[in-house]
Structure 1
Amino acid sequence: MKKILAILVLFFAFSLSSYAQEERKEDLVVLAKKDSKDVVSLLELGEREQIDFYNLFYYKYDEQSKTSSEERRKVISNIITKKLEASLTADKFNKLKKNTALFERVIN
């Protein structure tokens, strides 16, 4: 009887753990989609760029969720800034930078 109870407890513990990870992934997807959509609409870019920016922002949110170190978060922010700068023309990057609220949201 104790073994059956132990098996049931372990089963539910793993089920809840799995569910929490899926929920976290869904949150990251929503945040990354919103950021990529906002950047693409501001800069009037195409669908391919939206996919690229989605992947970049998903990476950012995933890495940030794995760390609590402020130093690591600054490194991630710096990486995102450099990748945005390399991906966009100078005019488009400056246009994004001028929209400070959006720029701060996508790099932090």
Structure 2
Amino acid sequence: MKKIVALFVFLFAFSFSTQAQENNAKAKSKAEVKELIEFLNLDYATTNDVYEVVLYKNTKKSSGNAYNQQELSNEVDLKLRELLSKEAYINLQSNTVLYKKIVE
């Protein structure tokens, strides 16, 4: 009986921890994309696409699983190049602080 109760407590704690990490990644992604929108003045469709990329990055970073930071940064950078216009991408790169925050 004690083992069953311990198992339920463990499962509950694990699911709570996973949900907290997911909420943290969403909040961080929203803040980063909000800053990007203010800087680049993006349209609604592009904003949603960029949010998905940034959420992917932050979820991967907060998951606790092993990942290669350089590969993740390169992947995010490549997706941003595809989503943003050439002018918007160049403007983003010119703001190195924001660029690093979004990509890394």
Letter aligned with residue 29 of structure 1: K
Distance between the aligned counterparts of 2:31 and 2:46, measured in 1?
Answer: 14
Partner of 1:22: 19
CA contact (8 A) 2:54 2:102 kept: yes
Equivalent positions of 1:17-96 (< 5 A) are 17-66=14-63, 67-69=65-67, 72-96=68-92
What is the TM-score normalised by the length of structure 2? 0.89
What is the TM-score normalised by the length of structure 1? 0.86
5+ unaligned residues in a row in structure 1: which ranges?
A: none
CA contact (8 A) 2:29 2:58 kept: yes
Q: RMSD of the TM alignment (CA)?
A: 1.4
Distance between the aligned counterparts of 2:45 and 2:79, measured in 1?
Answer: 16
Letter aligned with residue 6 of structure 1: K
CA contact (8 A) 2:21 2:62 kept: no
Q: Secondary structure at the match of 1:82?
A: helix
* Bigger Cα displacement from structure 2, 40-49 vs 98-107: 40-49
5+ unaligned residues in a row in structure 2: which ranges?
A: none
Q: CA deviation at 1:68?
A: 3.9
Q: CA deviation at 1:13?
A: 1.1
When Rg is computed on C-alpha atoms for both structures, the one with the higher figure is: 1
* Bigger Cα displacement from structure 2, 85-94 vs 98-107: 85-94
- Structure 1 position 8 matched with structure 2 position 9: no
CA contact (8 A) 1:64 1:76 kept: no
Q: How many pairs does the alignment contain?
A: 103
Distance between the aligned counterparts of 1:78 and 1:11, measured in 2?
Answer: 40
Identical columns (%): 21
Distance between the aligned counterparts of 2:19 and 2:62, measured in 1?
Answer: 14
